[in-house]
Structure 1
Amino acid sequence: MTEETNGTAAAPQLKMSVLAQFVRDLSFENVVAQKGLANADVQPEITVQVSLDARKRPAEHQYEVITKFKVTSKNKSDGVALFVVELDYAGIFQVEGIPEEQLHPFLLIECPRMLFPFVRRIVSDVTRDGGFPPYNLDTVDFVALYRAELARRAEAQRPADAPVS
């Protein structure tokens, strides 16, 4: 039997595997301990910044996907920093059978989604080991993050005198 069944070509088979995952860079700064700040009235306000990067590796069908998280905790009352965590976590993926036009969103949505539980665990452990309550990252909507980046790029490419639609 050929690849054609009832007049339609069979869709290519998606193959994806995680070949490796690792911490590329990790930094934890305990500002409270460094500056000797008083912990009397601490009301932490935490912000999380996420960025993504993907690049082709020399081997065929292999890609490196890097998730970058910056978690900053400041005291609500006076804005003084309490701690800062910066984590670059990467995965090496073997990806086959994805059409070229779908590869970029796949690498920046599905691959980070697979890495995220490990990122959450590292951030939780580092904040706990750094003398704070463990911080569990909220789930990241990688689809929304991807769409926001596409919109940002489109806006950056729009000429300054072009009308906004």
Structure 2
Amino acid sequence: MADQDQNPVFQLQRVYLKDLSLEQPNSPQILLEQQQPQVDIQLNMGAEPIAEGVFEVTVTATVTTTVGDRTLFLVEAKQAGIFEIRNVPQDQLQLLVGVACPQTLHPYLRAIVSDVCIRAGFPPILLPEVNFQAMLEAQQAQAQGAPN
């Protein structure tokens, strides 16, 4: 039975929307524009230990849509999850927290952003698929001061 206490554990405890905002600073006048809007999507991820072997992981999307130099709408959503991760080596822990957890949360974030756009009266914006492995490596390189 003692061997079971040392088995690796990777378990999603909870998924929740941590933060959500929608801004339409130039409505209603900008809604009459006929130009095709420009869409900029920024993604970020974060992780914080909240207890022994328990982590809160977040994935944030900031979607800015502009027509010319004016903002049509701005959506920022932060999807979070609580993950229990125990008895794994440090290098695997980094991969789980930096890659596997965000991959688990991304579909929820994608659905939230799309739904908010529709409810705001715009076509849905679908977040692209993300290579969280490459994103983690870029963040690690930036933290070490190395060029990306």
What's the TM-score bracket when you normalise by the shorter of the two chains?
0.7 to 0.9
Say if 1:144 and 1:127 are closer, same or farther in 2 by CA, change over 3 A.
same
* CA apart distance, 1:39: 2.5
Q: Tell me what 2:118 maps to.
A: 128
* Counterpart code for 2:30: L
Q: Tell me what 1:51 maps to.
A: 44
Preserved contact between residue 31 and residue 72 of structure 2 (Cα < 8 Å): no
Unmatched runs of 5 consecutive residues or more in structure 2: none
1:31 to 22, 25, 28: 25
* Counterpart code for 1:63: F
CA–CA distance in structure 2, aligned partners of residues 120 and 27 of structure 1: 15
Aligned residues: 143
1:139 to 122, 126, 129: 129
Say if 1:63 and 1:38 are closer, same or farther in 2 by CA, change over 3 A.
closer
* Counterpart code for 2:145: E
* Counterpart code for 1:72: T
Q: TM-score, normalised by structure 1?
A: 0.78
Give the secondary structure class of the aligned counterpart of 1:149. Answer: helix
Q: Tell me what 2:35 maps to.
A: 42
Larger Rg: 1
CA–CA distance in structure 2, aligned partners of residues 66 and 155 of structure 1: 23
* Counterpart code for 2:86: E
* Counterpart code for 1:94: E
CA–CA distance in structure 2, aligned partners of residues 87 and 118 of structure 1: 10
Q: Tell me what 2:103 maps to.
A: 113
Q: Deviations over 1:48-107 (max 9, x none)?
A: 11111111112x3111101111111112xx232111011111100011232023212320
Say if 1:38 and 1:69 are closer, same or farther in 2 by CA, change over 3 A.
closer
2:54 to 62, 70, 78: 62
The worse-fitting range, judged by mean Cα deviation, of 93-102 and 83-92 is 93-102
* Counterpart code for 1:119: L
Q: Tell me what 1:84 maps to.
A: 74
CA–CA distance in structure 1, aligned partners of residues 109 and 96 of structure 2: 19
CA–CA distance in structure 1, aligned partners of residues 127 and 134 of structure 2: 17
- The percent identity for this pair of structures is 31
Q: TM-score, normalised by structure 2?
A: 0.87
* Counterpart code for 1:91: G
